[in-house]
Amino acid sequence: MEHPIKILIVEDNVIIADDMQSMLEEIGYEIVDNVIVYEQAVDVLKNNHVDLVLIDIILASDKTGIDLGKHIRDNYNIPFIFVTSNSDRATVENAKTVKPDGYLVKPFEQQDLYTSIEIALSNFNYNSKMRDNMTDDSGDGEGIVSNSILKDSIFVKKQHLYYRIQFEDIQFIKADNVYLEVNTVDKKFLVRSPLKDYLEKLPRNKFYRAHKSYIVNVDHIDAINSKDIMINNNLIPISKDFKEFIISSMNS
């Protein structure tokens, strides 16, 4: 993995924290640190690059995970997920005040942890794109940590492993009932997602809805006729609007 996602774990139960770290490292994430109290977490955030924080709401200190969430919101432009044993209404309502990017209830499996992180990263990156651009243009982003994650790749699962796939390597995506078939040059991956939702995770200048059942990477189009395009010897049906778009782009 060229740029592993760097995660800070804030969890006062050492056994759970070590278990989480093992799960995350097996998937391919990098653990920046594993701490138990608010003050340690603040210090790690100040002195290290962190892409995402996993926070237990109840910590072994006077300040809680919700206090840490507020600190992150006030000082950093990164996502965080609450990981807690508490799912009662009062705790959830209190947690919502700092707008976490996810809420994971213990106990959980590795796939639950991965799914929560992948969705949080993807949604945070998508929702903050315009805000990041404005910060870059204004030049007054002192104290804000730039969010640079998942801008060139996405995770997909195959069997028991999660592969990080560069956007440029994705040729086309085909909808098949509740699953999507993500096709690269030499591999296929199955993803459970609506086609429309998956399109929102992909770069808009490269990926287009060519047909109700297909997303294509225009950089991989080899040929086109009145009804289809060809990508790596695969004929893919296209809509009238997409055909007009491609022809217009060719002639511009």
CATH code: domain of residue 89: 3.40.50.2300
Cβ–Cβ < 8 Å for 66, 83: no
Q: How confident is the model at residue 252 (pLDDT cuts 50, 70, 90)?
A: low
The domain of 128 spans 6-138
DSSP-derived 3-state class of residue 43: helix
Mean predicted confidence (pLDDT) in 87-104: 88
Distance CA 232, CA 219 (A): 11
133 vs 13 pLDDT, higher one: 13
pLDDT value at 212 more than 80? yes
Number of domains in the chain: 2
Please report, as a single letter, which amino acid is at residue 62.
D
Beta bridge partners of residue 87, listed in sequence order: none
How does residue 216 score in pLDDT terms, banded at 50, 70 and 90? very high
Do 21 and 81 lie in a common domain?
A: yes
- Percent of the chain at pLDDT > 90 equals 45
Give which of 213, 215, 240, 208 is closest to 226, Cα–Cα.
Answer: 240
Tokens, residue 62: 């006077």
Give the chain's length. 252
Q: Over the stretch 115-172, which tens digit does the pLDDT of each residue have?
A: 889 888 877 765 554 444 444 444 443 333 333 344 577 777 666 666 778 899 999 9
**Could you report the per-residue pLDDT of 61-90, keeping only the tens digit for each?**
899 999 999 999 999 989 999 998 887 888
79 touches 119 (CB < 8 A): no
Residues 130 and 51 in one domain: yes
What single letter denotes the amino acid at residue 201? K
Residue 178 placed within a domain: yes
Of 115, 138, 161, which one is at a domain's C-terminal end?
Answer: 138
Residue 148 in domain? no
Q: Average pLDDT for residues 38-60, to the nearest whole number?
A: 94
pLDDT at 163: 74
